[in-house]
Amino acid sequence: MSDIYPLGLKVTGRLVVVVGGGPVAARRVRSLVEARARVRLVAPHSVLAESGMPVASETPEPTDGPGPAEVEWVRRDYRAGDLDGAWLVHTATGSAAVDRQVSDDAERARVFCVTAGDASVGSAWVPAVARTTLTDDAEVTVSVTAGRDPRRARAVRDAVAAQLQSGRLPLRRHRPKLPDGGLGRVWLVGGGPGDTGLITARGRSVLAQADVVIVDRLGPRALLDELSPDVEIVDVGKTSGNHPVPQHEINALLIQHAQAGSDVVRLKGGDPYVLGRGGEELSACRAAGIEVEVVPGVTSAVSVPAAAGIPVTHRGVARGFSVLTGHDGAAEVPGGADHTLVLLMGVTRLADTAEALVTADRPADTPAAVIEDGYGPGQRVTVGTLATIADRAAEVGVKPPAVIVVGAVVRLSPAWPHQAR
């Protein structure tokens, strides 16, 4: 059995003595200042003086702020009595004899001591620490010790930190809020084009902490299977011509759940602000006094063409691009074949849109592509020109969701040589 008893220490306002002036001691001082401890540094010289951290030769005045403005610096070698009043001691002098003396003095004073040079001499150890702040402002702190092997502890800590940031660990609050626990919050999360690997780390993290998830049809739904069974899932998905939950009701759902104290994730496909009505949801929540955070996502307008090998811009081919819905206004977009058009939600009216897009600057032989189910198991690319793309899409039975790309960049797709033949 281990002889180590893991424990977190609250050092705010308490005196901690650090002996030594090198980089290790400096790191200890910085961490202790962040924890709002009163720090006494004992060393004739210190790298802290070169780093710009404020230090004083006399004891600084107590403060009620986030931490002491200065560190008390005793500019000499360690002496007996320097530990008087201390709650904790760190020694990192580089001298085994001095570190042993500090440790022995701490033992007699019944003060725990961390010795950087030889861990077996001390009575306490500093773990490798990973921290993350959660959606309810709580902080999860994971401390790792590894048989007095600091490099192994840091390696494990880094792996845990990556999992915390990715949302793959169970971060959701288990203790329910009190009845008067206040309002919940809303996160408008862009889930990307549907592949679970293309949601951002921040998006995955807040999703792992949600009490309620209000999800679109094109969000990365496979992530919902990873959530706790008691997370409420509200499906507001829309299909072409079928909007079972209109936007004003979605706004009301966000507000209703947040006012009940739940933390709500609105999980959308793509990015909330790219033809996703995220701005409307943000305004509705703010008007109701609900705190909202927008978590950007990878928009399908750029990522789905990329999945088909089509860059929306390319040097010497296209200098810019426009994103719009295929419902209306496509014919009014200026620019020729060297300006890429990306149309979302345009399958139903593809024939009318393709015909309207033909202009003097954008002739009928302008390349066009339809990418179905981008990054999904049914991804398929159909290419043609403005004159032929509607017929070709009809022949193969193109169905939403699909992204339409118009412009010379379509020739860069691996599917284009087949069209040329």
Tokens at 130, concatenated: 């990973």
Q: What is the mean pLDDT of the chain?
A: 88
User: Residue 153's domain spans which residues?
Assistant: 128-166
151 lies in some domain:
yes
Where is pLDDT greater, at 275 or 61?
A: 275
**Residue 76 and residue 97 in one domain:** yes
pLDDT value of position 64: 44
Percent residues over pLDDT 70 in the chain: 89
**Residue 39 and residue 98 in one domain:** yes
Q: What confidence category does residue 412 fall into, taking pLDDT thresholds of 50, 70 and 90?
A: very high
pLDDT digits (tens, 9 = 90+) for 187-221: 999 999 988 999 998 999 899 999 999 999 888 99
pLDDT digits (tens, 9 = 90+) for 79-108: 999 999 999 999 999 999 999 999 999 999
Where is pLDDT greater, at 55 or 334?
A: 334
pLDDT value of position 326: 75
Q: What confidence category does residue 177 fall into, taking pLDDT thresholds of 50, 70 and 90?
A: low
Instruction: Please report, for the domain that includes residue 195, its CATH number.
Output: 3.40.1010.10
Nearest to 244 by CA among 278, 217, 207: 217
Q: What confidence category does residue 235 fall into, taking pLDDT thresholds of 50, 70 and 90?
A: very high
Q: What confidence category does residue 389 fall into, taking pLDDT thresholds of 50, 70 and 90?
A: very high
Does the pTM exceed 0.85? no
Nearest to 45 by CA among 25, 65, 60: 25
Domain boundary among 298, 332, 357: 298
**Residue 82 and residue 34 in one domain:** yes
263 lies in some domain:
yes
Q: What confidence category does residue 176 fall into, taking pLDDT thresholds of 50, 70 and 90?
A: low
252 lies in some domain:
yes
Task: Flag whether pLDDT at 73 surpasses 80.
Answer: yes
pLDDT value of position 212: 96
Domain boundary among 166, 195, 216: 166
Residue 306 · residue 403 · CB < 8 Å: no
Question: Which residues are catalytically annotated?
Answer: 216, 238
**Residue 94 and residue 154 in one domain:** no
pLDDT digits (tens, 9 = 90+) for 295-307: 999 999 999 999 9
One DSSP character per residue, 61-128 reads PP--SSS-SSEEEE-S---TTTTTT-SEEEE--S-HHHHHHHHHHHHHTT-EEEESS-GGG-SB-PPE
Strands of the sheet containing 339-344, edge to edge, are 320-325, 339-344, 402-406, 367-372, 380-385
Give the Å distances, CA to CA, from 275 to 147, 172, 269, 299: 53, 30, 10, 10
Instruction: Please report, for the domain that includes residue 98, its CATH number.
Output: 3.40.50.720
Q: Give the count of domains, the chain.
A: 4
Domain boundary among 264, 298, 332: 298
- CA–CA separation, 103 vs 19, rounded Å? 11
69 lies in some domain:
yes
- CA–CA separation, 243 vs 96, rounded Å? 74
pLDDT digits (tens, 9 = 90+) for 293-345: 999 999 999 999 999 999 999 999 999 999 988 766 666 777 787 899 999 98
**Residue 309 and residue 283 in one domain:** no
pLDDT value of position 399: 93
398 lies in some domain:
yes
Q: How many CB atoms lie within 10 A of CB 301?
A: 22
Residue 297 · residue 200 · CB < 8 Å: yes
HEC string of 196-242? Answer: HHHCCHHHHHHHCCCCEEEECCCCCHHHHHHCCCCCEEEECCCECCE
pLDDT value of position 289: 96
Nearest to 188 by CA among 215, 161, 152: 215
Nearest to 366 by CA among 355, 358, 356, 375: 358
**Residue 288 and residue 189 in one domain:** yes
Give the Å distances, CA to CA, from 69 to 4, 72, 255: 34, 10, 43
pLDDT digits (tens, 9 = 90+) for 128-141: 888 887 766 778 88
Residues 6+ apart with CB under 8 A from 418: 383
173 lies in some domain:
no
Residue 205 · residue 161 · CB < 8 Å: no
Residue 333 · residue 324 · CB < 8 Å: yes
**Residue 225 and residue 294 in one domain:** yes
172 lies in some domain:
no
Residue 273 · residue 299 · CB < 8 Å: no
Tokens at 232, concatenated: 């409420």
Residues 6+ apart with CB under 8 A from 27: none
**Residue 278 and residue 359 in one domain:** no
pLDDT digits (tens, 9 = 90+) for 119-129: 888 899 888 88
Which of 44-58, 178-192, 263-277, 401-415 is predicted with the least confidence, judged by mean pLDDT?
Answer: 44-58
pLDDT value of position 182: 82
Tokens at 55, concatenated: 């230090």
Residue length, the chain?
421
408 lies in some domain:
yes
**Residue 362 and residue 373 in one domain:** yes
**Residue 287 and residue 305 in one domain:** no
Give burial (CB, 10 Å; 0-12/13-18/19+) of 25.
Answer: buried
**Residue 205 and residue 244 in one domain:** yes
Mean pLDDT confidence for 266-272: 95
In the beta sheet, which residues pair with residue 215?
Answer: 235, 267
**Residue 121 and residue 146 in one domain:** no
